[in-house]
Chains A and B, each alone.
Chain A
Amino acid sequence: MLRFLFKRLLLLVPILFGVVTVTFLLMYVIPGDPVLTLVGERYDDETLERMRSELGLDKPLPVQYLNYLGRLARFDLGESFVTKRPVSDAITERFPRTLALAFSAMLLALVGGVAIGLLAGWGRFRWLGRATMVFSLIGVSIPVFWLGLLLIYLFAIKLSILPPSGYGGGSIKYLILPAVTLSFASMATVARITRSGVVEAVGEDYVRTARAKGLGEMFVLGKHVLRNALVPVITIVGADFGSYLSGSVLTESIFGWPGLGRFIVQGILKRDFPVIQGSILFMAIVFVLVNLLVDVSYGIIDPRIRVKEKSG
């Protein structure tokens, strides 16, 4: 197990390095001139030069790269062009709110998806099986931003039972619509996977034996069917974490949720490059670490993966 963990951590190094390099190159090579955006319309050559040397942009590329790495090592992601506040401060402030939204959505997707998939796969209600297939198709096909707007229209504008947007100091009323929006695609996938797992398990001999033993249907479903159907579900939920991060950008901007995703969108609108790059780098690193965590936990749940790693 330790060897497996060590190997995985080692693999992390080139990937993180690559992520940092890509973000650096995007920031410093492609844009015409970040300084121009910084000083705006009114500038003279002298100010321009001064700003460049202040930001270290007059140095050769490798030097700039090393400086960038050095700053990252001190968790310095630069300052926002607009507010002059360190980007890392804003991330510490806002990321917990994004996490809160993402975890609520994940919980919703897991509970809702498993419940739907279990009922549909059980086979007692036939129409539900077909309905689940339609739901899973729509779930992966509907753009998250449009779904959010539909929900706002229905629940906030037409029915007026939930607030259309805002944070509300963290009150649950404000969390419902964004969490449902963000969870929808994942819930649909979880429902489909659970259903096919349950359908498969229901046909197995051990389930027939359990039923023949006279065990109650609820007990059979919970103990024998669900347990076997859940393994692929956990895989899916872990793999979907990236879609929660991507989705949070759109969801938060629609619902005015003051998390990191909305921060990025505000950065885009104001062409605030340090904000965009710093936040995206941060999210990518979180994504990589979560993927590592997911991988390692499979290794714990399913020892076969560890063995395969060793031989491969």
Chain B
Amino acid sequence: MRNGRHRSLRLMRNGSAFAGFLILSVVVGGALLAGLIAPRPPSEINLEAALTPPCIEYPFGTDAFGRDVLSRVLYGARISLGVGFMARTISLLLGLMLGTIAGFFGGKLDTLIMRAADITFAFPALLLLIAIMAVVTPGMISLFVALGIVGWAAMARLVRIQVLSVREREYVQAARAAGTGPLGLVFRHILPQCIAPVIVVYTLGLGMTIMAESSLSFLGLGVQPPDPSWGSMISRGIPFMRRAPWLTLFPGLVLTSTVCALNLLGDGLRDSLDPRTRGKEGR
């Protein structure tokens, strides 16, 4: 009985990972095909149609300039996902590089890198992002560089621990004894062992990063107008909450679904790629 319950729940978890994958596919598809499927250009102003409630012609309604909210949400997906992927990739590369150096070589370099990680962790993440974005020229590039830099520490810690646990394994020792150089050891024997948890953390962090991007854009520190970003669309909708709630509703709904999907997918990946955590929760 217990076993059977277990299995069905595992299936449900996989099912929810699949649901996450489906939602994400829709959002990614919408972002990629925005140019084809968006009913209108995202910045097309049509004052006669201003603040039209959702209807067949404008499924998500229009904003105060008569711009089509659906089209803006679709183009906004490009920006949110694009910034998220770029930022996570920067974190990933920085984390892989510094984490490997720290774990593989140890000693002073290790201490230095890990202290830097401690300092990064000493700031609540959003506050550090605000501090950075407040002083640089706002825009998409500064946005994903800032997000990427703030995310490096978690990735580096993870990679370092993985490298440490693999470094002294017998097959690595054997390769070392056979005369493999440090680069060969790292790339051929050590890093491939670290990939699974790195993928999980990348995916789970993607949701957090997209959330952080939208928070910054909400505060006016992220993507700048006229580029549509979910966060800035929501904040621009606030004055119209009473008359046109769809302005804040739809971008937020899509944003929440996207983050949900990434979290589901990340949890599913963790369960299937990292057997150690399997079944620890959700029993």
Contacts and interface: CB of A to CB of B under 8 A. Distances in A.
Given A149-B252, A157-B241, A283 B122 contact: no
A183 B68 CA distance: 34
B131 A15 contact: no
Taking residues whose C-beta sits less than 8 angstroms from the other chain, chain A's interface range is: 35 or more
Given A19-B122, A268-B134, 13 more contacts: A19-B123, A141-B263, A143-B215, A149-B238, A157-B242, A196-B282, A249-B127, A273-B134, A276-B130, A277-B131, A284-B127, A287-B122, A288-B122
A268 B256 contact: no
A81 B131 CA distance: 16
B53 interface: no
B176 interface: no
A26 B131 contact: yes
Determine the main DSSP class of B at the interface with A: helix
Given A138-B260, A146-B255, A284-B122, A133 B134 contact: no
B198 interface: no
Nearest to B125: A246
Contact of A18 (B115, B221, B264): B115
Interface in A256-312: 264-265, 267-269, 271, 273, 276-277, 280, 283-284, 287-288
B135 A273 contact: yes
Interface of B: 115-116, 118-119, 122-128, 130-132, 134-136, 207, 211, 214-215, 218-221, 231, 234-235, 238, 241-242, 245, 248, 252, 255-256, 259-260, 263-264, 280-283
A123 to B, nearest CB: 11
23 contacts: A18-B118, A19-B122, A22-B123, A22-B128, A26-B131, A30-B132, A138-B256, A141-B260, A144-B215, A145-B218, A145-B231, A146-B248, A149-B252, A242-B125, A246-B127, A250-B218, A254-B238, A264-B130, A267-B134, A268-B134, A280-B131, A283-B124, A287-B124
Contacts of B281: 192, 196
A39 interface: no
Nearest to A267: B134
B256 A143 contact: yes
A15 B123 CA distance: 10
A288 B282 CA distance: 32
A146 B220 CA distance: 15
B135 A26 contact: yes
Nearest to A145: B218
Contacts of B264: 137
B220 A246 contact: no
Interface string A137-154: 110111111100110110
A284 B123 contact: yes
**A-B pairs with the 3 shortest C-beta distances?**
A18-B119, A246-B126, A146-B252
